[in-house]
Chains A and B, each alone.
Chain A
Amino acid sequence: MIRPTPHPARLLVALLVSATVLLGGCGFSTEDSGGGSDEPETEGITLYSGRIPAAIGPAVDSYEIKKDLDVQVRFADTADLAATLVEEGDASPADVFFAQEPGAIAAVAEAGLLTELPQDIVDSVPPRFRDPEGRWVGVTGRARVIAYNRDVVKESELPPSPFGLTVPKWEGRVGWSPATSSMQEYVTALRAKYGDERTKQWLEEMVDNGAVAFPDNVTIRDAIAGGEIDVGLINHYYVAQGIAEGGPDYPVGVYFPPGGLGSLMLLTSVGVLESSERKTEAFDFVRSLLGDESQAFFTSSSKEYPLARGAEADPSLSVPIEQIPVSGTDLVDLKELQATIDLMKESGAL
């Protein structure tokens, strides 16, 4: 079976040509919402975003249109972007950093890379939702809650706090996601409030009671909707999204546990780079994120809590924002995450 083999050089040339032709045909840039216009040379700002396009796109677009400025967005994991910013140092092309988790932006601030925000921006967000030194401000809040299947569980049956989920009644019926940063921040908050002993005991009891581990919040929600489990510890807005898609008969409900550390607010936050040469525009963009239009977008699209003063949370959120403690400013020392992961491993949750 002897056949001629294509010459490697010819093969490579063919590959390169086909790749280049394909690109020519389809347009070089594939960015969508939030990515800016087709002329990358226009004056504008650069945003590093730990939030995915669907979560911020319209907010970025409306700013671009209003100001006739291009916003270039780099999307990646919040933590990877934080690490990149630290390596870039003064040479960073970024003007603004939009973080999905509060720990990352605190780390960038600690590295001296964020500039102090103007007073009007700082003042537009209540102190609980911003850096005490004014280097970053929260944009939206996401609450940790208990989601439950309304067809199977009555709200009155649910315990006053997640501590109550370790009794036999809930054996094998609870879902959680120990590997997600939102769950880990919740556990960090528990440690801060109740100490390592009590937290570890709760984690072990959860494991012993057959808590089912899911990779993320969405799969927990879908498992509740599908009847595989009856309750789950998740972020509130995933349920809101489910209701938005599934209509009034959507079987999953949200319950804000009133007692203990029932719920916890996780912030998405934004800061401006010290090295930015376009600070005026960057501040302006931050103002736009905190402005009525963007805050309304975040509220309606993802049901997150808007954090700007005066912004109204979605009416479906029954618990006022004032009653929910905040991770990163109220309770959690974000450097504690590593110790939390260790504790979760010791207790068998991770």
Chain B
Amino acid sequence: MPAARRAPAWLLAAGALIGAAAVLPAAHLVVVVAGDWVASLETALSSRALETLLRTAALTAAVVLASIVLALPIGWLTVRTDLPGRRLWAVLCTLPLVIPSYVGAYLLVAALGPNGMLQDALGVERLPSIYGFFGAWLVLTLFTFPLLLIPLRATLRRIDPQLEDAARAMGRGPLEVFRTVVLPQLWPVIAAGSLLVALFVVSDFGAVSILRFDSFTSEIYVSYQSSFDRVAAAALGAVLVIAMLALLLAASRIRGAKTVHRLGPGTLRPTQPYRLGKWRWPALGFCSLVVLVAFVLPVGVLIYWASKGISTGSTSLNTIAALGGNSLLIAAWAAALGAIAALVVAALAVRYPSRVTRLVERLSHAGYALPGILVALGLVFFATRAVPALYQTIALLVFAMTIHYLPLAVGPIASSLVGLSPRIEEAARGMGRGQAEVFRTITIPLARGGVMAGAALVFLHAMKELTVTLILSPIGFKTLATDIWTQTTYGFYEASAIPALVLLAVAAVPVYLLSEQGAAPP
């Protein structure tokens, strides 16, 4: 680690602005909680809140663990071995990310639930219940583990193979090399990816509501929807923010423990892939199983429904195209803004580590840990009071999406900066270039892979976002996600399959780019 340098003022100012924006929803919670301290404390410290918190922590830990168990072998197999079709497997294993958790959950219920397809196929009276912890764990793992797989693969490609070669030359077996040489270099990225998975699980409502798992976020929704108690909801939201800060602290411990740079910007010596030999059959079986359960089956059910939906002629092609256009517009702007904001946050945190810049990075996570309804209502509160002209405009909707999903972009950009020696930038400085110029001509181009990955992740999640869109969009503005909602609200599952498939198709483009991230040198 080079001695910490002072961040340029313009970068710091931009970072402060972004941090302030990201913290708006959390600030709203403080406003509401401050309105009724007693009731808030009572809710936050109730045994019910504590139980729910523990239950949510258990689910989060289980999903993170399972995600590591899936992502680590898949990442290694698709980057470091001669697995047949490994690039295809990489894309296929990333695709589950395009399936919104609420779609994934109702597909699971349709397939494995009471009177579901499996029960019909087996002809049995009753199957073990998928509701509760198991179902939520399964759905959240299957549809979020790529959040860990993506950065993991990028890192696996980037780490210096010479260390492994040296270890192998010294006679260590492949497993031992992996454990003693590769794994230690992966811990920071596993921590960062797990953090994204964990925060997703904590703030998810779609899957847990359909699968009836009482998570902290469902408790927040129940406060709004059944008891109409905004103070209780805000108090619980505040607990969530505190829990998130603890998670961040833990993750940064692991991440900060070890920094490994490559010296050069590119020209990685191509690694000799491990030959799998007869092990390629179990490896292929493993990948196939994951792709089958997490992608082929859900998409198959959707296509089956869509074919029934088309025959009843419920959705016109023009409508779908318009909905897709709206989704694309919001997601693309959120991705662009998110990538720029995240670049600022990541550059500050990685290149100019200090108490202030670390604070900015942590604050930038505040909007991601909160469920969509709290983000939306927080912006309702501030926009109606401070900038009524912007209320319920596309601009505010994009802003909301940006701060909601900012950390998804910060992670990959920070990793790509960490993996890059600051000496290149220092050399440019030494040659007399200004800080801004170095940032523009050296830092941004070298962080390109991370910026793209970050933008793609924001794009993907903004496409899927529902609650924020319903509350903050201009009146009459509808997207693929809101159309799916309208249809499923009244049980028109067949009709909802068509917008769902279009959403998947559009979202699959950034996923393809994501799985290719790091395929080329920066």
A residues lining the B interface (CB < 8 Å): 1-8, 11-12, 15-16, 18-20, 22-23, 25-27, 29-32, 35-36, 40, 46, 52-54, 72-77, 79-80, 82-84, 86-89, 91-93, 103-104, 107, 110, 172, 179, 181, 184, 212-219, 223, 228, 335, 337-338, 341, 345, 350
Contact = CB atoms under 8 A, between A and B. Distances in A.
A6 B227 CA distance: 51
A4 B520 contact: yes
What interface size band does chain B fall in? 35 or more
Nearest to A101: B225
Contacts of B96: none
21 contacts: A5-B520, A7-B448, A8-B448, A12-B336, A22-B325, A25-B321, A26-B322, A32-B319, A35-B476, A52-B490, A72-B476, A74-B475, A76-B471, A79-B224, A83-B224, A84-B376, A107-B228, A172-B125, A214-B115, A215-B210, A218-B491
A19 B329 contact: yes
Interface stretch (B139-147, B240-248, B385-393, B424-432): B385-393
B471 to A, nearest CB: 5
B455 A11 contact: yes
A12 B335 contact: yes
B115 A212 contact: yes
B301 interface: no
Contacts of B190: none
Contacts of B470: 75-77, 80
B333 interface: yes
B471 A80 contact: yes
A82 B222 CA distance: 13
A350 B218 CA distance: 13
B448 to A, nearest CB: 5
A64 B376 CA distance: 30
A289 to B, nearest CB: 19
Contacts of B476: 29-31, 35-36, 40, 72-73
A77 B225 contact: yes
B321 A26 contact: yes
Contact of A215 (B106, B125, B329): B106
Contacts of B482: 75
Top 4 closest pairs, chain A to chain B, by CB: A218-B491, A31-B476, A107-B228, A91-B384
Contacts of B519: 1, 3, 5
A252 B355 CA distance: 67
Nearest to A2: B520
Nearest to A223: B115
Nearest to A340: B226
Nearest to A90: B384
A87 B225 contact: no
B135 to A, nearest CB: 12
B221 to A, nearest CB: 8
Contacts of B335: 12, 15
Contact of A84 (B321, B324, B380, B513): B380
B303 to A, nearest CB: 20
Given A80-B467, A83-B228, 14 more contacts: A1-B519, A5-B452, A8-B448, A11-B455, A15-B332, A19-B329, A19-B333, A23-B328, A30-B322, A30-B326, A80-B471, A91-B385, A91-B391, A93-B392
B321 A22 contact: yes
Contact of B377 (A20, A83, A181, A350): A83
A88 to B, nearest CB: 5
Contacts of B319: 30, 32
B384 A88 contact: yes
Given A3-B520, A23-B325, A338-B227, A12 B475 contact: no
Q: Which of B227, B233, B455 has the most CB of A within 10 A?
A: B227
A292 to B, nearest CB: 26
A323 to B, nearest CB: 28
B486 interface: yes
Interface in B427-481: 448-449, 451-452, 455, 459, 467, 470-471, 475-478
Nearest to B109: A215
Contacts of B384: 87-89, 91-92
A223 B113 CA distance: 13
A78 B361 CA distance: 36
A130 B236 CA distance: 33
B485 to A, nearest CB: 9
B106 A12 contact: no
Interface in B484-502: 486, 489-491
Given A2-B521, A5-B449, A79 B225 contact: yes
Q: Which of A72, A88, A212, A335 has the most CB of B within 10 A?
A: A88
B373 interface: yes
B478 A30 contact: yes
A218 B490 contact: yes
B491 A217 contact: yes
A30 B317 CA distance: 12
